Amino acid sequence: MPNWSKQRHRVAQFEVASAAPGRKPAADPFEDRLALERLAGWCERFSPIVGIEQSVGSDCLLLDITGLDHLFGGEAAMAQRIAASLKRFGLCAKLAIADTIGAAWAVANTLPVERTASGEATIFLIVPPGETAAALHRLPVEALRLTEQTVDLLHQLGIYQIGQLESLPRRELSSRLGRQLLVRMNQAAGRVDEPLKAYRCLPEFIERWSPDYPLERRAMIDAAFERLISRLATSLAAHGRGALRVQCLADCPPEEPIIFAVGTFEPSASAAHLLELMAVQLERVSFPAPLTRITVEASQTAPLEYRQQEMFSVGRGRQDLHRQLAGLIDRLSNRLGRRRVLRARLCNEAQPELAFRYDPLVGGSNARDGRRRARSHGQLLPRPLCLLPRPVVLSLFSPPKSENGALKKGTGTTTEGVPEYSRGQDVVEPVPFFNKPNGPSFAFQLDGRRYEVADSWGPERIETGWWRGRPIWRDYYCVETTAGQRLWIFLAAGEKRWFLHGLFE
């Protein structure tokens, strides 16, 4: 039996990325955090204390492996086993084992990416005990988890490596570059203790039940969930907290356990409300085998918000309406998916499709509090109520031309007085109609129907987006057809084509 107290403190740290090349989905901080939490939970098979480091740069997992490596055959064998397990998930990692959190973070974040034929591979480096200072000596100052401003300042002073920093007098470093730099240096070198904050010490609100006999009948499964949720709600209410996310895990050996979760718009400790949301999920789940154990956990909680009762409220009070609305959002989000129940925010972007953004109401970021209120260009100029997700190319009918090629005006009309047009191509020269309010109109085809422009307002030139690599140069016009319909079309300067983008419905 090893003597744990005399063992050196050892920390394993790794950052994870997708192993396959080209798999780079759009970033979603909420989903990223959930994925990292799932991975952290999975890593508890290697260490009981797993932390998530989100201070600077990429998100990392920290494992306290003090006194645990011998269970896996040594530190190198343990690192190899973690790497092999991650590879099965299609992930690659940069892994480092060192005496301190700071040193492990520094080494892992400065490891080069190893590319193989099948993509990126997991690499690891072990700093032997007692050699932390030597390992840090040649690492760049960025490895100290410093802010960008501090790193820039150090670079301006010609300091690029941690070894250079260590040779400078400490007192002047603190006064000139801030106390945080000294703290990070001491933490990395092990001169100051840095606690590893577990992402969950122990689940605070968790209810488990293992029935004597495996549950097979649906009614019994539902009753078991109801009982567990009721107990969880009671526990939450007793602590003055509400669940923002409840995760359920149903063990059904020999199959993989079934995991599903419900989210709430506001913290809730109401058993009826949580059960209602859970019922929506249970309807969609089919259990492949009888259940041997059910676990219900409030994985994300927040303090309950107490509001004073209204004594003289007529009919439904404000609190009641607010609660009803939160319930509606929860029901919609849990059935349709959180990405389909949205709040809209205006953005300071001139490009119409980027002038707003949708955020999920449940589980979204709470950045609204500290964010400067954006004033969209849409508040300054008229904007349609409907915008097509992708602009539609207008197939134009060119105005009739005379024999010498000039545009005919007032001629070429049918017996009904409607100008005749010849079917044109998608790519046409800009029609000079918009410079003349009462000039000749043009016609276009959309969804097999012919539209003739009777009047127009514009142009509103939008020239933006060069910094995104796709410069936008559009001249927008609000046009009214002869039938009175109002459309928002634009002429793309580079393509010389007309697009329908919005509808004043």
Partner 1 sequence: MILYICILTVAGERAVEKQLENSLTVDSLRRCIERLEGGGGCADDAGGGENANGNLIVSSGCAGLDRLLPGRGFRRGTLVEWLADGDANCRGSGAATLAAIVAKNACGHNTTGEAKTLVVVDHRGEFYPPGAAGLGIDLKRLVVVQPENKADNDWALDQALRCPGVGAVLAWQRQIDGRTFRRLQLAAEQSAAVGLLIRPAAARVEPSWADVRLLIEPLGKALTMGRWRNKRRVRIHLLRCRGGTSGRSLDVEIGNDINNETHTVHPLAELVQAAASCRAV
Tokens of 122: 């997991």
Q: Which of 318, 371, 409, 468 binds partner 1 (CB under 8 A)?
A: 318
Nearer to partner 1, 304 or 354 (CB): 354
Q: Which residue has the tokens 């085809």?
A: 445
Is there binding between residue 279 and partner 1 (CB under 8 A)?
no
Residue 260 binds partner 1, judged by CB under 8 A: no
String marking each residue 90-129 x if it binds partner 1 according to CB under 8 A: ----------------------------------------
The pairs formed by 20-26 with CB atoms below 8 angstroms and a separation of 24 or more are 20/90, 20/118, 20/119, 21/119, 21/120
Least separation in angstroms between CB 258 and partner 1: 23
Q: Rule CB under 8 A: is residue 280 a binding residue for partner 1? A: no
Structure tokens at 323: 């609660």
Q: What is the SS3 string spanning 103-129? A: HHHHHHHHCCCEEECCEEECEEEECCC
Question: Does 382 sit near partner 1 (CB under 8 A)?
Answer: yes
With a CB cutoff of 8 Å and minimum separation 6, the contacts of 143 are 105, 106, 107, 109, 110, 136, 162, 188
Task: Provide the 8-state DSSP code for 467.
Answer: G
Pairing of strands 123-126, 91-98: parallel
Phi, psi for 466 (deg, rounded to 5): -65, -30
Tokens 């009671």 locate to: 234
**Among 378, 400, 412, 439, which residue interacts with partner 1 (rule: CB under 8 A)?**
378
| Residue 392 touching partner 1 (CB under 8 A) | no
Residue 116 β-bridge partners: 119
Segment 420 to 439, residues that bind partner 1, using CB under 8 A: 437
Question: From the CB of 486, what's the least distance to partner 1, in Å?
Answer: 5
- The answer to whether 192 and 199 are in contact (CB under 8 A) is no
Query: Of the ranges 43-51, 116-124, 269-277, 474-482, which one interacts with partner 1 (CB under 8 A)?
Result: 474-482
The site that binds partner 1 (CB under 8 A) totals a number of residues, namely: 61
Q: Is 149 in the site for partner 1 (CB under 8 A)?
A: no
Burial of 154 from C-beta contacts in 10 A (0-12 / 13-18 / 19+): buried
DSSP-based three-state secondary structure for 141: helix
Would you count residue 281 as binding partner 1 (CB under 8 A)? Answer: no
Minimum distance from residue 300 beta carbon to partner 1 (Å)? 22
Instruction: Please tell me whether residue 480 binds partner 1 under the rule CB under 8 A.
Output: yes
- Residue 391 contacts partner 1 per CB under 8 A: no
Strand-pair category, 258-268 with 123-126:
unpaired
One residue of 267, 327, 364, 399 binding partner 1 per CB under 8 A: 327
C-alpha closest to that of 108 among 63, 150, 147, 74: 63
Are 63 and 46 in contact by the 8 Å Cβ rule? The answer is yes
For residue 483, state whether it binds partner 1 (rule: CB under 8 A): yes
- Backbone angle region of 285, left / alpha / beta, with phi > 0 → left and psi within -120 to 50 → alpha: beta
Contact status: 485 vs partner 1 (CB under 8 A): yes
Asked if 320 touches partner 1 (CB under 8 A), the answer is yes
Residue 278 interacting with partner 1 (CB under 8 A)? no
57 is written with which tokens? 């740069």
List 100, 122, 376, 441, residue binding partner 1 (CB under 8 A): 376
Nearer to partner 1, 295 or 441 (CB): 441
> Contact between 472 and partner 1 (CB under 8 A)?
no
C-beta closer to partner 1: residue 216 or 310 = 310
430 DSSP 8-state letter? P
Options 356, 392, 398, 492; binder of partner 1; rule CB under 8 A = 356
Structure tokens at 112: 């080069």
What is the residue-wise DSSP string for 174-228? HHHH-HHHHHHHHHHHTSS-----BS-SS-SSEEEE--SS-B-SHHHHHHHHHHH
365 binds partner 1 (CB under 8 A): no
Verify binding: residue 393, partner 1, rule CB under 8 A: no
The DSSP code for 260 is E
| Residue of 165, 277, 341, 394 that binds partner 1 (CB under 8 A) | 341
Closest distance of CB 487 from partner 1, Å:
5
Beta bridge partners of 358: 344
State how far Cα 447 lies from the chain centre. 36
Per-residue x/- marks for partner 1, 239-258, CB under 8 A? --------------------
Q: Which of 346, 392, 393, 407 binds partner 1 (CB under 8 A)?
A: 346
Residue nearer to partner 1 on the CB measure, 416 or 505: 505
| Pick 30 or 457: Cβ nearer partner 1 | 457
Using CB under 8 A as the binding rule, the residues of this chain from 439 to 458 that contact partner 1 are 447, 449, 454-455, 457
Query: How far, in Å, CA of 224 to CA of 215, rounded?
Result: 9
Positions touching partner 1 (CB under 8 A) are 314-316, 318, 320-322, 324-325, 327-329, 331-332, 335-336, 340-346, 352, 355-356, 358, 361, 376-389, 437, 447, 449, 454-455, 457, 478, 480-487, 502-505
